[in-house]
Amino acid sequence: MTITQFISADEIRSRFSRAMSDMYREEVPLYGTLLDIVSEVNAQVLKNNPQLRESLADTNELARLDVERHGAIRLGKPEELHTMRRVFRVMGMYPVGYYDLSVAGVPVHATAFRPIDEASLKINPFRVFTSLLRLELIEDASLRLTATEILAKRQIFSGELIHLLAQHEAGKGFSDEEAERFVSEVKEIFRWHQEATVSKEMYRQLHDAHRLIADVVCFKGPHINHLTPRTLDIDAVQAQMRLQGMDPKAVIEGPPKRQHPILLRQTSFKALEEKIMFAGDQQGGTHTARFGEIEQRGVALTPKGRALYDSLLEQARSHNNEGSAGSAYGDRLAAVFQSFPDDLEQLRKEQLAFFRYEMKDEDLFRQLAENGETRSLDALLAAGAIVAEPIVYEDFLPVSAAGIFQSNLGGTEQKHYAAHSSRARFEEDLGVPVQDEMKLYEQVSQQSVTRLFQMLEAATANP
């Protein structure tokens, strides 16, 4: 009897992110150029900073430094979101967080499908920012109906994929060959199709309602619209993009440059104008949707830290009602963020950021255990028995995401939606509630403390 080795969710996710990278590099050659810049800058940073190189090597980060950290798709209808959730689950990716972009003039709401436990994040943290179009925000009733009908006709999942999905959900894992087929079928969902499924006139109408509506409704499927590798120096990559004439967006989204990075900084080269064909038309036209992005992540903030971040960002953006426009934005942002402590111990003590506690000196730890001082993390830290390591932020930022959307939709038009966020509706479509990211970070932190004290109990039990 032969025993089939099932392929793990982490491995399937890794294969998937690799497949997406290969496909996107082929589809958007400029993205390949961006990857080259990222890897040159990363190499330079490592050369200048041997200490960083060592710490990345210690945590096995070096080998996969330049690989993609996230991508984004835009879905058209509830059933697509529901099935996508099942697809991502096979790859160990679960919906975390709810992002309402309508407040920023983008008619979608979204979640991020990502790995949630520490071990999986470490193997491969690849996530997909997944938006669902909110058709109810199309004002013109007849256009709304037409869009709904166009979407109703499309089927983005192949029969083969649905079959494999059912097999997996019945508790039968995937063999190597099945995992390959699964990844390949999933990749196909996100492939770019130059042929719009609608006439030129219909495209124009939907485009006039909102560029994003045309992007979602007029194509055969939800093409991947960007992938995002990790850079060790986002300012350097931004400068390089400019030097090489890649048309980066005007500002880096998120917090300013700091000694100790917090949350997430991201920027992109702007979406390319690409040739498309319309149904029943020989001439064709152009469509602007696909781009390349980079990200640099820092420590996850507690609700208190996040509130401070949000208020400082708002302060920088509300100046003269300019948002992030205007040449002084960078300076203003840096000035305002002076009030955000840039010292790890202070961030920890003031409970602004999440930390994980690791053993540093076990002998010392045991000694302190005998003195009965060990219940205090502060005392253990001060004595050098343990260390506190920042927990990396694994999610997205709504204001940044809106900025990324906007600079990649071409045009300068600003729509305003009076919509209220509808998380309940999103979760109903999804089929499950989204997970609360704060709880996940809290858990990681708590678990690290539990691990330490379990060691302590073992130490006291057998001195």
Summarize as ranges the residues that interact with Ni ion (CB under 5 A): 72, 228, 293
Which one of Ni ion, ligand OOG, none interacts with residue 17, CB within 5 to 8 A by kind? none
**In whole angstroms, what is the distance from residue 131 CA to residue 74 CA?**
5
Q: Which is nearer to ligand OOG, 68 or 178 (CB)?
A: 68
Contact region with ligand OOG (CB under 6 A), list: 57-65, 361-369, 400-408, 453-461: 400-408
74 binds ligand OOG (CB under 6 A): yes
Q: Report the residue from 9, 301, 404, 452 that binds ligand OOG according to the rule CB under 6 A.
A: 404
- Residue closest to ligand OOG when measured from CB atoms: 401
Which one of ligand OOG, Ni ion, none interacts with residue 99, CB within 5 to 8 A by kind? none
Minimum CB distance to Ni ion, residue 253 (Å): 9
Is 23 exposed, middle or buried (CB count within 10 Å of its CB: 0-12, 13-18, 19+)? middle
Given a contact cutoff of 8 angstroms between Cβ atoms, the answer to whether 335 and 312 are in contact is: no
Q: Which is nearer to ligand OOG, 178 or 215 (CB)?
A: 215
Q: Which is nearer to ligand OOG, 216 or 381 (CB)?
A: 216
Which one of ligand OOG, Ni ion, none interacts with residue 302, CB within 5 to 8 A by kind? none
**In whole angstroms, what is the distance from residue 64 CA to residue 45 CA?**
15
Q: Which is nearer to Ni ion, 80 or 293 (CB)?
A: 293
Minimum CB distance to Ni ion, residue 48 (Å): 27
Is 158 exposed, middle or buried (CB count within 10 Å of its CB: 0-12, 13-18, 19+)? middle
- The dihedrals phi and psi of 275, each to the nearest 5 degrees, come to -70, 135
Q: Closest Cα partner for 71 from 28, 33, 104, 39?
A: 28
Minimum CB distance to ligand OOG, residue 111 (Å): 11
382 sits in the region (left: phi over 0; alpha: psi -120 to 50; else beta) called alpha
Q: Which is nearer to Ni ion, 130 or 448 (CB)?
A: 130
Q: Which is nearer to ligand OOG, 78 or 284 (CB)?
A: 78
Minimum CB distance to ligand OOG, residue 408 (Å): 6
Interacting residues with ligand OOG between 90 and 149 (CB under 6 A): 129, 131
Q: Which is nearer to ligand OOG, 15 or 249 (CB)?
A: 249
88 binds ligand OOG (CB under 6 A): no
Q: Closest Cα partner for 59 from 282, 364, 392?
A: 392
Which one of Ni ion, ligand OOG, none interacts with residue 459, CB within 5 to 8 A by kind? none
229 Cβ contact partners less than 8 Å away, ≥ 6 residues apart: 34, 35, 38, 66, 67, 68, 69, 294, 295
Q: Which residue has the tokens 């160990």?
A: 92
**In whole angstroms, what is the distance from residue 101 CA to residue 109 CA?**
6
Contact region with ligand OOG (CB under 6 A), list: 28-36, 78-86, 399-407, 421-429: 399-407
Minimum CB distance to ligand OOG, residue 286 (Å): 18
Interacting residues with ligand OOG between 283 and 322 (CB under 6 A): 293
Q: Report the residue from 192, 203, 219, 405 that binds ligand OOG according to the rule CB under 6 A.
A: 405
Contact region with ligand OOG (CB under 6 A), list: 307-315, 369-377, 395-403, 427-435: 395-403
Q: H-type helices in 49-153, by residue range? A: 50-58, 78-90, 118-123, 141-153
324 binds ligand OOG (CB under 6 A): no
**In whole angstroms, what is the distance from residue 443 CA to residue 448 CA?**
8
Q: What is the DSSP string of 337-348?
A: GGGS---HHHHH
**In whole angstroms, what is the distance from residue 289 CA to residue 269 CA?**
11
Q: Which is nearer to ligand OOG, 246 or 401 (CB)?
A: 401
Q: Which is nearer to Ni ion, 72 or 101 (CB)?
A: 72
Minimum CB distance to ligand OOG, residue 215 (Å): 9
SS3 382: helix
Interacting residues with ligand OOG between 7 and 36 (CB under 6 A): none
Q: Closest Cα partner for 277 from 171, 169, 192, 167?
A: 192
Beta bridge partners of 296: 265
- Strands 127-133 and 68-75 turn out to be parallel
Which one of Ni ion, ligand OOG, none interacts with residue 131, CB within 5 to 8 A by kind? ligand OOG
401 binds ligand OOG (CB under 6 A): yes
Task: Give me the half-sphere count of Cα atoms (radius 13 Å) on the Cβ side of residue 87.
Answer: 27
Residue 389 is inside which H or E element, if any?
strand 386-390
**In whole angstroms, what is the distance from residue 254 CA to residue 267 CA?**
9
Which one of ligand OOG, Ni ion, none interacts with residue 240, CB within 5 to 8 A by kind? none
Minimum CB distance to ligand OOG, residue 266 (Å): 5
The shares of helix, strand and coil residues in the chain, as percent rounded to the nearest 5, are: 50, 15, 35
Which one of Ni ion, ligand OOG, none interacts with residue 396, CB within 5 to 8 A by kind? ligand OOG
Q: Report the residue from 14, 83, 225, 374 that binds ligand OOG according to the rule CB under 6 A.
A: 225
Interface residues toward ligand OOG, by CB under 6 A: 72, 74, 129, 131, 225, 266, 293, 396, 400-401, 404-405, 408
